[in-house]
Structure 1
Amino acid sequence: MQSSPWKVRCATLCFTLLSITGVKLRPLGEQEKMIQLEAVKKSILDRLGLHRPPVIREKMDKDEMRKIYWLYQEKLMELRGNISMEETPKRRVHILTPKLERSTKKCGIPGNSHRYNLIFSRTQTIHQQLSVMRAELKLCKDVLAALKSAAANSTSKAMVNIYKVTESIHGNGEQEYKLLDSKSIDKDILALNMTLNVDTAVQQWIASSEKCLRLELVIILNIPFVSDGRKQMRADDALVLEVETQEQAHSKTRRARSLSVDEDCKKSEKKCCRKSLLVSFEQIGWSDWIVHPSTYEMRFCDGSCPHNYKPASMHAQIKYRMHHINGETPAPCCVPGSYDPMVLMHYNSERKLVFTVFDDMIVKKCHCA
């Protein structure tokens, strides 16, 4: 279908008027970028107390530049160190009680021994991204008292050994025993507790996908042993496994990085999320007075805040309900929730090279408030 002469004349007239008035035909996205860049420039100048960019006629020599550059790097490292300390998770102590069974199976462990199978199961808080700082099998005082009493009547040296039990690599159904720790029962000194080091076995277990950790407790005595003279040793009152863990640093970094990426707006995303714009100080004509960094990733929060979506607080949820009821209360807005710091190395109004820390310049997370 051909356009009518009237439509053609109308379109030509509109284009001519736009050309005469000097209006540039650019996509809306480009216009938004220009507005954002101007906002960035104005905000940086205001924060630095400048009305306009300083005019730099003479720059520092290479030696002076090198010295202040090292100071700049030290400041960056200090900031990163502070962030790492904030993100380092606290250590946690896990208390595990084993399923305990008296073992009658013969093995190659020497001595007249009383043997117990210890089976520990994973809990919800134990996962593969944990580093074991300490793992100790603790024998409680009641059991030790019974052990010391038995050791006093024993003619041979009384010992407590702990072994890790694994299936034989030969696949013949046999089990292999690796000695983890060994302690003698001193009949002359009354100890309130005894700890056996099982760090290696516990670390290997946590790093693996195995559901259970199998250990063997061997008490070497040449006389019968019971915990209180009436009943056999029980796990709940005899021993516990105490494991102190800390989340691995690289997994924490990886998780933080993943969470940060999740903040970015997906395609056609309309809910509250994080948008980015790369600002090149060279392209905006500021490379003569801003030395480092050469670019800055400006991030901002945008999008709608429907009910219970990324609420910053209970106040934000109440605010949404109030807005929904009467419309007089403003709805929650998509705003920054946290920031990453940035160090700007630049010339000041006195044309001296300095660096300024911006604690709230790079948006890390968005939420509704």
Structure 2
Amino acid sequence: MLALVLLVALPCTMVRARPSLNYLEEPYATEPTQAGSEEVRSDAIKRLLEVFGMDDPPVAVTHRRKQPPQYMLDLYNTVADVDGVTKDPYLLEGNTVRSFFDKLRSEQVEFRFNLSTVARTEKILTAELHLFKLRPQATLVLNRHHFCQVSVYQLLDTSKSNNTQERKLLSSRLIPIHSNGWEVFTITQAVRSWTVDEGSNLGLHVVVRTLGGSPMDLKLIRFASGRNHHQSKQPMLVLFTDDGRRRSTTPESADPDNAQDTAILPQFPMASHESPRSARSLDQAWEEEGASMPCQRLPLYVDFEEIGWSGWIVSPRGYNAYHCKGSCPFPLGQNMKPTNHATVQSIINALKLIKSIETPCCVPDKLYSINLLYFDDDENVVLKQYNDMVAGSCGCH
């Protein structure tokens, strides 16, 4: 099944919905050896990791997994449907979102985040500091102040010749004193400098002042810390990046007018969460009819638990990649969505003008992206979008 996923976009590939690995055996071998099967599986997993832009799968943390930040869960549900298929390719900035928890866990309003998992080749689009503001203590509620000025500074290394200041202002704004909940500050400039020079990452410092500029009582303005408060309120850095992977080249995925199509896909009589046996039965029934059915889309469910990835993937548990199967007989009707090239090839084949020319192939003509929400090796939660992962429809090409 794993190797089949890798071949789903190749033309004229006639495969079962969920085959065993046996179909890769030598033509004259009666039974694959156990070592051979393990080698095939290992190679298939390696190739699948390449599709997902990884060298190795993150270490499974099921026995000690933290709860993903609610922000990341909400973001995933905003951009993806229940199967992970992208609702609208223009909702997400870039194709990767990472969340980092504070590493200092200090009682002071200072924070530091380990960004070692961010590749230097990634383009930093936006970086946000998320702080949870707690309610002021009851004894201080009658304070005459109603707003405060909250400023976020980047700590600088004064030992370097070009730095004469200890900190640099990144973001500053007014916040109601009696409010509570998440406050978000843009710190993109600092994160860009940290990814260029990892040693310059000395952290962030938050300063709270009255409107007159005097220091504010920190008992009145309190932000949750990683040390004393629940994980759901911990300080967090959210980073939006683009890793440079190519965008989908299909016209439909590049056209904003067709963006709504992704919100309702995939549509098929068998939903993606149905039993793998049902998928096999449907495909086998198709074969028993002598491959006489025209080009169409059939189910191809990718189960991450079966692959062994459920330990680090949060959502989805699997998705329906679909595959294209069927004949492209002459004459090609418009319902088969033929290209002009396919039409000409079909005519040449029908007239037997050239013996070696086959009929056109049944292949995906519309592809959609999926989203993966997962834990990396540092237990940071990552949302990543992968292009060309779902066959939206099929045609004769």
TM-score norm. by structure 2 comes to 0.32
User: Which structure: greater strand fraction?
Assistant: 1
Please tell me whether Structure 1 or Structure 2 has the larger radius of gyration of its CA atoms. Answer: 1
TM-score norm. by structure 1 comes to 0.34
Which structure has more relative contact order (CA 8 Å, sep 6+)? It is 2
